[in-house]
Amino acid sequence: MSLTIKKIETFPIAVPLKSPFKTALRTVTTASSLIVRLTDSDGFTGLGEAAPTAPITGDTSASIKFAVEQVIAPKLIGASLNQPERVKQIIDTALVGNHSPKAAVNIAVNDLLAKHYGVSLSEWLGGYRQTISTDYTVSVGTAAEMVGHAKQLITEGFDTLKVKVGSQSPFEDLKQVRAIRQAVGPNVKIRLDANQGWHKKQAAKMINQMAQEGLDIELVEQPVPADDFEGMAYVTAHTDTPIMADESIFSVKDALRLLKMDGCDIINLKLMKAGGIDNALKINAISEAFGVPCMVGSMIESQVSVTAAAAMAAAKANIQYYDLDAAMMFKTQPTTGGITHDGAVITIPTDVGLGIEFQTK
């Protein structure tokens, strides 16, 4: 008997953050997102989520809702889950771009499939490990604000900090990183994320200066504009600090192009950029073939898609870095279940699928 997709529903959510999230590209005080729920012919449901991040993915709340309801859903209703590869192809080819709405539906399909096989999503994807350890982001602010936040995070059990830079002059960035390193001591790992805020020579000079001063930066994420692949390769070649690509990588083609150029040392996988779990795993497989490890990160997303990202991260050996603090920033969650955390340590649920329940009002 054929198992088909019968219904696709969307539920917009808006949840205040505990404190403003500031980067070189934007400031967020309330997390807006779209929960997607698929129901199949056996009555099983699968959940997904799409987060609008217009400065990075180009997706807005309105465009995500339209893409899911008016474009993807009509093509997917009646599709057979006995042919999951075909279902995922329908999602990928429904429209050009629109990675976040595709991600939401892809996550929901994988949730459904894992439930039908009676396994957790992480087991469905590979089941390599049960726990992972995330960093926590120190948002852009004054030196005093960033130092205060960094100290607070250490007391909460985080030993790896992701510090946002690139929104002001490189000299100011350097002063803030110095202050944070002095405040947290030598045993805390510091990662920097410039969010495309530097130019290639500026970035190389800055990173090398930090190395000379012994600031011990673990890695630097996306130091130059997303489309400057040559700039990424330049910074990678002219520094010893590992360079991670984020906004430069949306697709398998992007990854292959940059890897062939020796344009990065690490790739950051995000479901909202890749268009879901399956495309992110393809990028991870190519990265692994080049001997390049991956990180899994997220946009400002709730427990739904962060749990999906964590399940994927825990499933694969080549995914060795984790930046999955987004849901921890929410004042409340729109769902129950999913990942749990004790300080930096995230535990992956063993319930079937995502292990998440969503009750509509």
Q: Is the pLDDT of residue 356 over 80?
A: yes
Whether residue 227 is annotated as binding a ligand: the answer is no
Whether residue 325 is annotated as binding a ligand: the answer is yes
Whether residue 40 is annotated as binding a ligand: the answer is no
User: 5-118: which CATH architecture?
Assistant: 2-Layer Sandwich (3.30)
Amino acid of residue 301: E
- Tell me how far apart the alpha carbons of residues 347 and 207 are, in angstroms, rounded to a whole number: 34
Q: Is the pLDDT of residue 91 over 70?
A: yes
* 10 sits in which H/E element: strand 5-22
Whether residue 145 is annotated as binding a ligand: the answer is no
For the chain, the distance separating the N- and C-terminal CA atoms, rounded to the nearest angstrom, is 33
* 27 sits in which H/E element: strand 27-40
Structure-token match 């330049």, residue found: 234
Q: Give the CATH number of domain 123-357.
A: 3.20.20.120
Whether residue 137 is annotated as binding a ligand: the answer is yes
Q: What is the DSSP string of 276-313?
A: SHHHHHHHHHHHHHTT--EEE--SS--HHHHHHHHHHH
Amino acid of residue 62: A
Residue ranges covered by each domain of the chain? 5-118, 123-357
Whether residue 298 is annotated as binding a ligand: the answer is yes
The residues carrying an active-site annotation are: 164, 270
pLDDT tens track for 124-141? 999 999 999 999 999 888
Whether residue 246 is annotated as binding a ligand: the answer is yes
This model's pTM is above 0.85? yes
Average pLDDT over the chain, rounded to an integer: 95
pLDDT tens track for 180-197? 999 999 999 999 999 999
Buried-state track 212-246, b at ≥16 Cβ within 10 A, e below 16: eeebebbbbbbbbbbebbebbbbbbeebebbbbbb
Q: Is the pLDDT of residue 361 over 70?
A: no
Query: 117 — phi, psi (to 5°)?
Result: -90, -5
The answer to whether the beta carbons of residues 297 and 274 sit under 8 Å apart is: no
Q: What value does the CA radius of gyration of the chain take, rounded to a whole number of Å?
A: 20
Residue 119 CB contacts under 8 Å (≥ 6 apart), including other chains: 352
Which of 20 and 311 is assigned the larger pLDDT? Answer: 311
